[in-house]
Amino acid sequence: MSAATSTVVRVALPVPMPRLFDYLAEAGAEDVGRCVRVPFGRDEKLGVILAVGVESDLAPERLRPVIALRRDLPPLPADWLALVGFAAAYYHAPIGEVVALALPPGVRRASAFTPAEADPFVAVSQAGRAVLDEGRSGRTRAFVATLATAGSLRRARARELPDGDKLAEAMRRGWVERVAAPGAVHAGGAAPTATDDQRAAIDAVTERLETFDCWLLQGVTGSGKTEVYLRLAERALEAGRQVLMLVPEIALTPQLEGRVAARFPNAAVVSLHSAQAEGARAAGFVEALAGRADIVLGTRLAVFTPLPRLGLILLDEEHDASYKQQEGVRYSARDLAVWRARDRGVPVVLGSATPSLESWEHARRARYRHLRLDARAAAAALPAVRSVDTRRLRLDEGLSPALLDALGQRLTRGEQSLVFLNRRGYAPVLSCTSCGWISGCPHCSANLVVHLAERRMRCHHCGTDASIPAACPSCGDQDIRPFGRGTQRVEQRLVELFPAARVLRVDRDAARTRPQWEALLARIAAGEADILVGTQMMAKGHDFPQLTLVGVIGADASLHAADFRAPERLFQQLMQVGGRAGRAQLAGEVLIQTEFPEHPLYRHLARHDFDGFAARELDERRVAGFPPYSHQAMLRADAPQLDEAQRFLEHARDIANDIAPEGLRVFDVVPMRMTRLARRERAQLLVEADQRALLQRFIGKWLEVLRAQRVPRSLRWQLDVDPLEV
Ligand code: ADP
Ligand code: ZN
Ligand code: ZN
């Protein structure tokens, strides 16, 4: 350690300004990465030291001393600073905003951080072994014998062993002692014998565990991708490394947390997600930073977890849009995970049954290494997928005779069915039959959705909530009706049609909280429901062993959407939801109701042909010049009046045209598809280039000019690099 003398430290603070701040501190080179509390105006803030001993542009007498160097926390490692720096540069976000994103609020707010005492490892001591050799009896001895076979375990886990209540007694007698963390964490629990495909994937990655590669693990639903992740995690843990495992929405994956904990009983597993209490998240972050956490399981924000022993990154459902943050710093956790793995020289495995076309294209061109699991692991066949042509059919609340028939068959056989409809509520709109009034949201360009059960109308975008009027607010006529249908309406009709069946609705209204969602899952698993009516919540990776039929209704609406990514999303969603059918020993069937049975998307789906679909979509994108064959950034602006937002963007467009290098395309300013949201009018401006580097250089210059513009206080603007919605 160099002697600490008063010197200038350069600090990143969580403020929306693209600059750093200088202070005085008793600090040395070893304090780079250290958290520091500093005065800021009349306030205090917690930031991170990025450099020590710099020459400040400020006059020495204007430099203020720091309030406290947070020596209770280990410094953030250099690679963490590099990651934050890269994210700030790539997404053109102020470094302080990225720091604010990456440092959990609980860490920033606490004035001192004393993490809860880590759960230490315990094992049988020499004295304990001697006792076992003597062959004494008793419960404490029985416990020591059990622990001896288990090796070293976390204390909390040891307590869960048979006779675990004797742990304290055994420690008091000196038969069990605290030990240093074992170099290797061992897998426990029963692991199935890997299939040949799984084995090939595991071996391929294991052989290159010491180097960066981006692996695309493309495996059909039920092919055992999770099993591959667990085996690879085991290898990394054996090598004494930490594993970062990212999932789209942790609230939807309690099963995964359970599987990880069961497989690694003596590993320290930390969960990190935004729905967590501030203290728990901060504690998890510090456990990881101190190198004590072995496995970090988290959502997109966990990509910023400091991991000094990082050895492997696993990212499940890599195509999922929730890896992209859609507000504030608009980053992609998937793309940052790949960057981080490369920077650290460790493998990253992206897994999906339906990869994003970007990743699939990388794999096709051998920039990513392609691993495939084409068959289901537990001998179950993929479901039979059929289209039901609804053009000449009379539908009963959207349900075709073929689907009703199939539902009836499942009921007689005692199997479960799912009717999939990605629209919650009773009906998407209420309308007056005599004057044509519709229930529009007063604050958005969207309609108020009818929730008949609660007798409310709600905007799903801004949350506006109103009671259902008794008569038309416009003409007074009482004949106002819900038009179209959502999950509640289908649920209601199914209850009428199948009075003996137990119908269960599974959507955001039925599962608002994680405990509610877990309770629903438990009821489904216990066979307490015959027919499920669900939204995309049902599409995420759950096993429902008794589910043998999936009926899809209302999918055509996305077939002809304006967004060029709409077909990709629809295909992914249908393949995922179809994958819920027929997992265990029971064959599955998927019925897709459509007016376009010949549409190539449905034909590829019926053949489980993701590759065919992907190749075809990519051909179309190449012709149209869409990503991944071009790179995009979207400048968005919103204001109380549309013309205010548009005027700003038109000005930005003029600037862009002035400085645009050859090869950069600047499009027209257009209102966003949903123009009005929560009383603000929104417009956007797309810029595009074939080369990422060219686009990046341009954005740097463009933003410099834009940030110097004076704009009215009522106007807000943001840039979105690699936007998912255009
Ligand atoms: P995915 O993540 O690809 O959808 P999972 O890993 O969840 O698939 O596996 C699907 C089912 O198959 C699970 O019930 C899992 O326990 C089982 N399974 C996975 N691998 C094997 C295997 N090698 N042998 C037997 N069953 C397996
Ligand atoms: Zn009316
Ligand atoms: Zn609204």
What would the pLDDT profile of 152-174 be if each residue is shown by its tens digit?
777 777 887 888 889 989 998 98
> What is the structure's pLDDT at 1?
42
- 8 Å CB contact between 251 and 386: no
Exposed, middle or buried: residue 619 (CB in 10 Å: 0-12, 13-18, 19+)?
exposed
Return d(Cα 448, Cα 471) in angstroms, integer: 16
- Residue 543: which pLDDT band, with cuts at 50, 70 and 90? confident
Ligand 1, atom 23, residue with closest C-alpha: 194
> What is the structure's pLDDT at 181?
59
- 8 Å CB contact between 332 and 320: no
Q: Residue 186 pLDDT more than 80?
A: no
> What is the structure's pLDDT at 512?
87
Q: Are strands 348-352 and 214-219 parallel, antiparallel or unpaired?
A: parallel
Q: Is 543 in the pocket of ligand 1 (CB under 6 A)?
A: yes
Centre of ligand 2 from the C-alpha of residue 450, in Å: 17
Give the Cβ contact number of residue 89 at 10 Å: 13
Q: Residue 419 pLDDT more than 90?
A: yes
- At 18 the three-state DSSP class reads coil
Q: Is 221 in the pocket of ligand 1 (CB under 6 A)?
A: yes
**Nearest CA among 294, 291, 247, 306 for reference residue 273:** 247
Write the single-letter amino acid at 151: G
**Nearest CA among 572, 532, 571 for reference residue 551:** 532
Please name the residues in contact with 703: beta carbons below 8 A apart, sequence gap of 6 or more. 92, 719
Mean of pLDDT values over 255-281? 84
Q: Could you list the residues known to form a binding site for Zn(2+), using ranges.
A: 432, 435, 441, 444, 459, 462, 472, 475
Q: Residue 421 pLDDT more than 90?
A: yes
CB < 8 Å & 24+ apart, contacts of 703-711: 703/92, 705/655, 705/659, 706/652, 706/655, 707/18, 709/651, 711/648
Mutate to test the pocket of ligand 1, among 227, 232, 575 (most ligand atoms within 8 A of CB): 227
Mean of pLDDT values over 236-264? 85
Secondary structure string (H, E, C) spanning 194-209: CCHHHHHHHHHHHHCC
Q: Is 222 in the pocket of ligand 1 (CB under 6 A)?
A: yes
Q: Residue 190 pLDDT more than 80?
A: no
Q: List beta partners, residue 295.
A: 243, 269
- 8 Å CB contact between 503 and 448: no
> What is the structure's pLDDT at 379?
64
Exposed, middle or buried: residue 668 (CB in 10 Å: 0-12, 13-18, 19+)?
exposed
CB < 8 Å & 24+ apart, contacts of 357-363: 357/568, 357/614, 357/617, 357/618, 357/621, 357/628, 358/627, 358/628, 359/216, 359/318, 359/319, 360/216, 360/218, 360/611, 360/614, 360/618, 361/614, 361/618, 361/628, 362/214, 362/216, 362/628, 363/216, 363/218
Q: What is each CA distance from 578 to 221, 384, 535, 540, 714, in whole angstroms? A: 9, 9, 13, 11, 46
CATH class, range 631-721: alpha beta
Q: Residue 438 pLDDT more than 80?
A: yes
Q: Is 223 in the pocket of ligand 1 (CB under 6 A)?
A: yes
Q: Residue 241 pLDDT more than 90?
A: yes
- At 430 the three-state DSSP class reads strand
699, two tokens: 């954005």
Q: Residue 677 pLDDT more than 80?
A: yes
> What is the structure's pLDDT at 429?
94
R_g of the chain, CA atoms, integer Å: 29
- At 233 the three-state DSSP class reads helix
Check residues 109 and 29 and name the one with the higher pLDDT: 29
ipTM of the complex, rounded to two decimals: 0.96
Chain center to CA of 408: 36
Centre of ligand 1 from the C-alpha of residue 263, in Å: 14
Question: Tens digit of pLDDT for each residue in 394-405?
Answer: 999 999 999 999
Ligand 1, atom 26, residue with closest C-alpha: 378
Ligand 1 atom showing the smallest separation from residue 221 Cα: 4
Mutate to test the pocket of ligand 1, among 221, 226, 376, 608 (most ligand atoms within 8 A of CB): 226
> What is the structure's pLDDT at 451?
95
442, two tokens: 């007063």
- 8 Å CB contact between 655 and 702: yes
> What is the structure's pLDDT at 177?
85
Return d(Cα 675, Cα 643) in angstroms, integer: 12
Mean of pLDDT values over 98-117? 76
Q: Is 219 in the pocket of ligand 1 (CB under 6 A)?
A: yes
pTM of this structure: 0.88
Cis-peptide, bond into residue 442, ω within 30° of zero: no
Degrees to nearest 5, angle at CA 689 with 686 and 695: 85
> What is the structure's pLDDT at 252?
60
Write the single-letter amino acid at 176: V
Which secondary-structure segment (H or E) carries 122? strand 121-124
Ligand 1, atom 4, residue with closest C-alpha: 222
Question: b/e string for 709-726 if b means 16 or more Cβ within 10 A?
Answer: eebeeebebebbbbbbeb
Centre of ligand 3 from the C-alpha of residue 509, in Å: 17
Mean pLDDT across the chain: 91
Mean of pLDDT values over 23-29? 94
Question: Tens digit of pLDDT for each residue in 50-82?
Answer: 999 999 999 988 999 999 999 888 999 999 999
Q: Is 576 in the pocket of ligand 1 (CB under 6 A)?
A: no
Ligand 1, atom 15, residue with closest C-alpha: 224
Check residues 70 and 232 and name the one with the higher pLDDT: 232
Return d(Cα 497, Cα 494) in angstroms, integer: 5
418, two tokens: 């799912």
Q: Which fold has domain 7-102?
A: GIY-YIG endonuclease (3.40.1440)
Centre of ligand 1 from the C-alpha of residue 726, in Å: 36
Least confident among 46-55, 189-198, 402-411:
189-198
Provide, for the chain, the percentages of residues in helix, strand and coil under a 3-state DSSP scheme, each rounded to the nearest 5: 35, 25, 40
Mean of pLDDT values over 247-269? 80
Return d(Cα 142, Cα 162) in angstroms, integer: 9
- In 486-588, the DSSP E strands lie at 503-506, 531-534, 547-552
Mean of pLDDT values over 42-48? 92
Mean of pLDDT values over 181-197? 73
The CATH superfamily holding the domain 196-377 is P-loop containing nucleotide triphosphate hydrolases (3.40.50.300)
Question: b/e string for 677-694 if b means 16 or more Cβ within 10 A?
Answer: beebbbbbbbbbbeeeeb
> What is the structure's pLDDT at 280?
85
Q: Which fold has domain 380-426+485-619?
A: Rossmann fold (3.40.50)
Return d(Cα 651, Cα 647) in angstroms, integer: 6
Q: Residue 2 pLDDT more than 70?
A: no
- In 331-443, the DSSP E strands lie at 348-352, 369-373, 384-389, 416-420, 429-432
* Helix ranges, 373-486 (H): 401-413
> What is the structure's pLDDT at 392?
92
59, two tokens: 């006059």
- In 520-605, the DSSP E strands lie at 531-534, 547-552, 589-594
- 8 Å CB contact between 544 and 583: yes
- Residue 221: which pLDDT band, with cuts at 50, 70 and 90? confident
Q: Is 390 in the pocket of ligand 1 (CB under 6 A)?
A: no
Q: Is 197 in the pocket of ligand 1 (CB under 6 A)?
A: no
343, two tokens: 């920077």
Q: Is 253 in the pocket of ligand 1 (CB under 6 A)?
A: no
- Residue 129: which pLDDT band, with cuts at 50, 70 and 90? confident
Q: List beta partners, residue 495.
A: none
Return d(Cα 586, Cα 578) in angstroms, integer: 14
Backbone angles phi, psi at 368, to 5 degrees: -110, 155
Write the single-letter amino acid at 236: A
Mean of pLDDT values over 361-390? 92
Question: b/e string for 16-52 if b means 16 or more Cβ within 10 A?
Answer: eeeebbbbbbebeeebbbbbbbbebeeeebbbbbbbb
Q: Is 316 in the pocket of ligand 1 (CB under 6 A)?
A: no
